[in-house]
Amino acid sequence: MMAPIVLLVNPAAGRGRAARVARAVHRSLTACGLRVERHDTHARGDEATIARDASAAGARALAVVGGDGAISHAVRGLLEGEARGGARVPLAIFAAGTGNDFAKSLAVPVHHLDRMVAHIAAGATHQVDVGFVNDVPFVNAAGFGFDVEVLERMRTPGVLRGTAAYVGTALRALLRYRGFRATMVSDSAIMSRKLMVVFANGRCFGGAFRIAPDAQLDDGALDCVAIRDIAPWARVPVFARAMRGAHLSSPHVSVHRDRHFQLRFEAPPIFETDGELQQAASCDVSVSVRAGALTLIA
C-alpha cells in the first residue's frame, strides 16, 4: 500500500483560515490519487508528536497547513523522529498563518494550493539547513534581546493579533527597552551592550521585518545581525529601515555569517526560536547550523 501523506492542520492558524485551506488541500491531494491522513492539533506541541509519528511510520510526506509556529514544532518532531531511527520525511508547507516568515524565504508556491499539491505528487525535494541554540532547533530565526522583550509583552492579550500586534508592541517597547550585555566569545572578552542579536536562517521575522535580506536557507551558515544599544530616539529609524531590509548599512548594525557562534551573557538568557520563548540553562550559549538537515518539497 502506498505510504500516506500526513496532513497536519493547525485549525486556529490565520484566525481560522487554515481550516478552510486544509479542506481544499485534502480534496486536491485525494484527487491526485494520493492517500491522505489528516491530523488536527488541539494543543501546543501536538505538531511535534504528529511529525514524530509520521517519521516512525515512514510517511510519504508531512504537509503542514499553518503558520510559523506549526512549522517550527513540526520540524522539531521530524528531527526527533529521524534521530530515533525513523524515516526522513519531506516537509510540504501550505502557508496559512499570519506572518508566514519562513515561507517568505522559500522558492516554493506555498500560497498556491494546486501548484503545491503538484510538487507533492511529483516528489521533488530540496535540502535546507536547520539552526540550533544549544540543542533547540529553529528553521527561520533565533533572537536575543529586544525581540524577546516584544514577545514577553505580547503575552498580555490585546485587540490586535499577528503581525499588527508584533509591530505595535515593538513600537511601544522601542523607547523603553534597556538592552542587554553579552559578548561573542570569538571576538572579545569584554561585554558590550546590545539592543538585539538575531541569528537568521531565513530572511524575515516579526511578519514585517527583513532582518537578514541576504540570508540563504541552504548555504550551511547563519547570518548574525547585531544591533548595538543606542539612544531611544535613534532606534526608530533603524527599525523603520529594517522593514525594507535597508538597515544593514547603519553604523549601529553589524552582520557576520558563520556556521557556529559562542555567546556569553551576564545571566542565563531568555531567547526565542521561531517566535517561541526559551530559557537557557547557563550564561554560555552556543548557536550553530546543521547543513541540509531538513528535506522540503520543492
**Domain carrying residue 24:** 5-123
Looking at the 3D structure of the chain, how many domains does it have? 2
- The grid coordinates of residue 265 equal 551573557
Separation CA 49–CA 65 (nearest Å) = 16
Task: Return the number of other C-beta atoms located less than 10 Å from residue 71's C-beta.
Answer: 27
In-domain check, residue 28: yes
The reply to whether 112 and 158 lie within a common domain is no
Separation CA 89–CA 26 (nearest Å) = 19
In-domain check, residue 131: no
In-domain check, residue 130: no
In-domain check, residue 32: yes
Q: What is the mean pLDDT of residues 19-29?
A: 92
The reply to whether 118 and 175 lie within a common domain is no
Tens digit of each residue's pLDDT (9 = 90 or more) over 37-67: 999 999 888 999 999 999 999 999 999 998 8
Tens digit of each residue's pLDDT (9 = 90 or more) over 263-289: 999 999 999 999 899 999 999 999 999
Query: In this predicted model, which residue has the larger pLDDT, 275 or 134?
Result: 134
CATH of the domain at 72: 3.40.50.10330
The reply to whether 95 and 152 lie within a common domain is no
What pLDDT was estimated at residue 159?
43
Separation CA 20–CA 24 (nearest Å) = 7
Tens digit of each residue's pLDDT (9 = 90 or more) over 86-128: 999 999 999 887 778 898 888 787 778 888 899 999 998 999 9
8 Å CB contact between 110 and 97: no
Smallest Cα–Cα separation from 296: which of 124, 140, 57, 81? 124
The reply to whether 44 and 86 lie within a common domain is yes
Let me know if 275 is exposed, middle or buried by CB neighbors in 10 A (0-12, 13-18, 19+).
Answer: buried
Q: What is the mean pLDDT of residues 67-73?
A: 91
The reply to whether 119 and 141 lie within a common domain is no
What pLDDT was estimated at residue 84?
97
Does the pTM exceed 0.75? yes
Instruction: Quote the percentage of the chain above a pLDDT of 90.
Output: 68
The reply to whether 86 and 143 lie within a common domain is no
- Quickly state the pLDDT bin for 157 (edges 50, 70, 90): low
- The grid coordinates of residue 251 equal 553604523
The reply to whether 146 and 273 lie within a common domain is yes
Residue that finishes a domain, picked among 92, 123, 154: 123
In-domain check, residue 195: yes
Lowest average pLDDT, out of 84-93, 147-156, 212-221, 241-250, goes to 147-156
Positive or negative: CA dihedral 156, 157, 158, 161: positive
The reply to whether 119 and 229 lie within a common domain is no
The reply to whether 86 and 216 lie within a common domain is no
